[in-house]
Structure 1
């Protein structure tokens, strides 16, 4: 027998409904970086997705009101960093408005194409931006992976129910 959705619990489409639904969806946590005119920028993203294998494309969303948006909107290349389960504080640093995200204790270096690359992450990639697709108050950035390092060790950091967590055995 198929479970029937509780239609009485369903609410009209709204930002609150969207947030409520996605609080129940566990998502991997990434930090997106770019070189900006005034220095490096970055933000925490839970919208990272694989798009295609040929060519190797990924996507992520960014709000047009985000402090990183002006640099990302102009960047030819971006960095994508997959965080490990012990990097919740790093994720919070890049999610916090007004924070100096690249100050210590954040460890990073200038990588290929001038992209800021974070140290100690599970995996990172430098990607060439192919498109910025309008989507409401956000843009979906589609980018091609051009190089990176997937050899970090550990388990992924997840975002679920409004907080950061790890996988459970």
Structure 2
């Protein structure tokens, strides 16, 4: 018979020490601890299909201006990850600081993300385009690379629009934030 699992209070800490000193070996805990300190813009990635899919992403990056290309990561086993794996085109939506609820909705598993109050329409290539975002792109997927339980997607912008000015929604220290003056 195996030993019983320790109670949560008895489990060893997974906190990663901070400050200068001897580098620690690479681990999931180290990566999470370092990236909690990295403020990231918040985007929603969408994909069309029989049932539209979408998720909140903080891994969005500009890869190239010429050709105009972006990248993001998605959990391979998720509904959205499977939809992105089948999609020829995806939508990329940059959220404003007033869209924390939208970001939270698209981050929540099992939610009907495209039901009211979400406002959206079919955009170029049939990709769901969200209303009220700061800007959006429709991108043609050009590569997918498996990385652990995720997939790194690189896509080329084929259409889009700068929709509104305003301040971006950020993700930092495990929560949504806004820029400070």
**TM over 0.5: same fold?**
yes
Matched, 1:158 2:158: no
Q: Aligned-pair distance for 1:54?
A: 1.4
2-structure distance, mates of 1:75, 1:55: 20
- What are the residue-to-residue correspondences of 1:1-169 with 2, within 5 Å? 6-7=20-21, 10-37=23-50, 39-169=51-181
| RMSD of equivalent CA atoms | 1.1
Q: Which has the larger radius of gyration?
A: 2
- Whether contact under 8 Å (2:137, 2:161) holds in the other structure is yes
TM-score w.r.t. length of structure 1: 0.93
2-structure distance, mates of 1:131, 1:123: 23
The gaps in structure 2 that reach 5 residues or longer are 1-18
Q: Aligned-pair distance for 1:139?
A: 0.9
Matched residue of 1:73: which SS? helix
TM-score w.r.t. length of structure 2: 0.87
1-structure distance, mates of 2:101, 2:28: 27
Matched residue of 1:133: which SS? strand
Q: Aligned-pair distance for 1:11?
A: 3.7
Length, aligned pairs only: 163
